[in-house]
């Protein structure tokens, strides 16, 4: 069987390939991609049996792959992977679509692949239903990873996010700072459905923890003053209503 991996974390790609090689040696990896659009273009030209698809990668949502492919082209089996334990997991179950939580556990991986092989392909209807349900699914927790380890963080405990070149700093209520090697834009779509607002190109703030807004500045609960872009001020005021 032929498969591809759509994933923006090299370590996760290596883990998937390692588990597949060990437990499903009849599988052949044709390619891996870190953008859904690139993967979709490949899938239009190449037949595959199986796709490992990250839920959230490079600012895109994995479930949007159905927007790039027709019903006829969506003719492969899918297992979604996600690092976000609160991200629409109930919706996945209700839509009868398999998913794996990162870090990937070997026994769960083998179980999920075996089950999907028996179940058959994911349909366009399932993806459309999943998209609808995930829009109303409230994300409560995010798992942050860096070279020091992984940190489950409640979104209500996040004060703000700050861009630092290709890194993002998470500033928490307990004054802890966690730096992850992903750019700020990766979290735009993930956080937009909660109380987070990008009032500046370098900051996403949790509006629940804003104490005061004065002209083009927001004072957070920890007394940190964050800038507000002039063209974002009106949008922020509307967002807070």
pLDDT at residue number 94:
43
pLDDT at residue number 221:
94
Strands (E), 24-183: 28-33, 50-54, 56-57, 60-61, 77-82, 99-101, 141-146, 149-154, 158-164, 167-172, 177-180
pLDDT at residue number 136:
47
pLDDT at residue number 126:
61
Is the N-terminal amide bond of 154 cis, ω within 30° of 0? no
Q: Which tokens hold the place of 110?
A: 């083998």
Q: What is the architecture of the domain spanning 2-136? A: 3-Layer(aba) Sandwich (3.40)
pLDDT at residue number 16:
95
> Among residues 72, 190, 63, 83, which one has the least CA distance to residue 126?
63
Listed in sequence order, the DSSP H helices in the chain are: 10-23, 36-45, 65-68, 89-94, 106-119, 124-136, 188-191, 233-240
186 contacts 204 by C-beta, under 8 angstroms: no
Give the mean pLDDT per block of 10 residues along the chain (241 residues). 92 94 95 93 93 82 82 83 63 59 87 77 61 57 79 90 93 94 78 79 94 93 95 86 77
Q: What is the architecture of the domain spanning 141-240? A: Beta Barrel (2.40)
| Domain boundaries, given as residue ranges, for the chain | 2-136, 141-240
H or E segment and range at residue 3? strand 2-6
pLDDT at residue number 97:
62
Cα(55)–Cα(70) distance, integer angstroms? 20
pLDDT at residue number 129:
54
pLDDT at residue number 189:
62
Cα(232)–Cα(199) distance, integer angstroms? 5
CA-CA distances (angstroms) from residue 80 to 8, 14, 63, 104, 239? Answer: 13, 16, 9, 11, 32
pLDDT at residue number 209:
95
Q: Cβ atoms within 10 A of the Cβ of 6, count?
A: 27
17 contacts 47 by C-beta, under 8 angstroms: no
Q: Cβ atoms within 10 A of the Cβ of 124, count?
A: 15
């Amino acid at each position: 069987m032929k498969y591809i991996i759509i994933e923006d974390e090299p370590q996760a790609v290596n883990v998937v390939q390692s588990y597949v090689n060990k437990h499903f040696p009849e599988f052949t990896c044709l390619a891996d991609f870190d953008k859904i659009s690139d993967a979709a273009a490949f899938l239009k030209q190449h037949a595959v049996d199986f796709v490992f698809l990250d839920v959230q990668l490079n600012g895109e949502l994995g479930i949007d792959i159905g927007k790039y492919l027709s019903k006829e082209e969506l003719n492969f089996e899918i297992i979604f992977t996600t690092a976000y334990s609160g991200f629409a997991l109930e919706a996945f179950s209700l839509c009868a679509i398999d998913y794996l939580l990162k870090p990937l556990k070997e026994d769960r991986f083998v179980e999920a692949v075996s089950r999907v092989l028996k179940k058959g392909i994911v349909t366009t209807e399932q993806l459309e239903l999943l998209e609808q349900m995930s829009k109303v699914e409230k994300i409560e927790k995010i798992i942050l990873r860096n070279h020091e380890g992984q940190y489950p963080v409640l979104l209500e405990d996040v004060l703000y996010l700050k861009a630092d070149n290709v890194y993002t700093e998470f500033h928490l209520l307990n004054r802890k700072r966690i730096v992850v090697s992903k750019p700020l834009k990766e979290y735009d779509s993930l956080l937009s459905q909660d109380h987070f607002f990008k009032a500046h190109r370098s900051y996403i703030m949790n509006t629940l923890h804003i104490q005061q807004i004065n002209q083009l500045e927001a004072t957070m609960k920890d007394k940190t003053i964050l800038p507000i872009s002039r063209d974002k001020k009106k949008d922020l005021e509307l967002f807070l209503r």
